[in-house]
Amino acid sequence: MPIDLIIFDCDGVLVDSEIISCRMHAKVLTGIGYPITADQVFDRFLGRSSAESNREVEAELGRKLPDDFDARLKRAVIDELALSVESVPHVAAALDDIRQNICVASSGIHEKIRTCLTRAKLYDRFTPHIFSASQVKRGKPEPDLFLFAAAQMKTLPNRCIVVEDSIPGITGATAAGMTVLGFRGGAHYLEKPARAPTPEALQDAGAVRVFDDMRQLPAIIEEISK
């Protein structure tokens, strides 16, 4: 089947936000009595929805998180991203060369996605086709978000390519019946190679190709489309 839609994850694929988000997530969790490092957040929660992460923390704490936890975490992360997040190298040039429709499907809330894409000068390229896990019942690694994005874009799942950097994201997109590309060119892969998933791990999760430079993406899409 021809490919009509390219679905991009946001964090770690379009913008280098993962390390920033993990650092702030660890800071806020530690502040409420759940000591954790940024590396541990990276290992356990990267690519997962906040609801799933919160449930896991609450189970270990044996109590509910504070009522204002999500608001506190959101503010800390968004304020830091607004100051320092940057686009993934060469992503703008890659988007220039993609002829298919494009959209975003992210585990982040809309305000975070908008903050990241705006600072990275990518927001106008995607709006209004920006979809969040907050719009579906189950986040990644379930397929709901990807199926929702495809439905909103009026595209069959088997005519979609998803670009993801995390195992939960790749798992969810594969379960949605989409072709998945694993991207390993974000700062968290370059700065934390020992902690980041290997190419083999991404392929085991369902990625049909793994690449590490956004300049490769248009040619990969064209190859799969043919």
pLDDT of res. 46: 77
Same domain, 80 and 174: no
Same domain, 79 and 160: no
- The per-residue pLDDT for range 61-96, each reduced to its tens digit, is 999 999 999 999 999 999 999 999 999 999 999 999
The tokens describing 37, both together, are 């490092």
- The per-residue pLDDT for range 97-156, each reduced to its tens digit, is 999 999 999 998 899 999 999 999 999 999 999 999 999 999 899 999 999 999 999 999
pLDDT of res. 50: 80
To the nearest whole number, what is the mean pLDDT of the chain?
94
pLDDT of res. 187: 87
Question: CATH number for the domain including 200?
Answer: 3.40.50.1000
Question: CATH number for the domain including 32?
Answer: 1.10.150.240
Domain range holding 52? 19-84
- The per-residue pLDDT for range 13-26, each reduced to its tens digit, is 999 998 898 999 99
Same domain, 161 and 210: yes
pLDDT of res. 18: 85
Same domain, 213 and 121: yes
d(CA 52, CA 55): 5
Residue with token string 């998803």: 162
Same domain, 112 and 53: no
pLDDT of res. 117: 97
Same domain, 69 and 161: no
pLDDT of res. 27: 97
The torsion angles phi and psi of 75, rounded to 5 degrees, stand at: -65, -45
The domain total for the chain is 2
Same domain, 78 and 98: no
- pLDDT above 80 (res 194): no
Same domain, 106 and 159: yes
- The per-residue pLDDT for range 215-226, each reduced to its tens digit, is 999 999 999 998
Boundary (domain end) residue, out of 84, 110, 134: 84
Same domain, 68 and 161: no
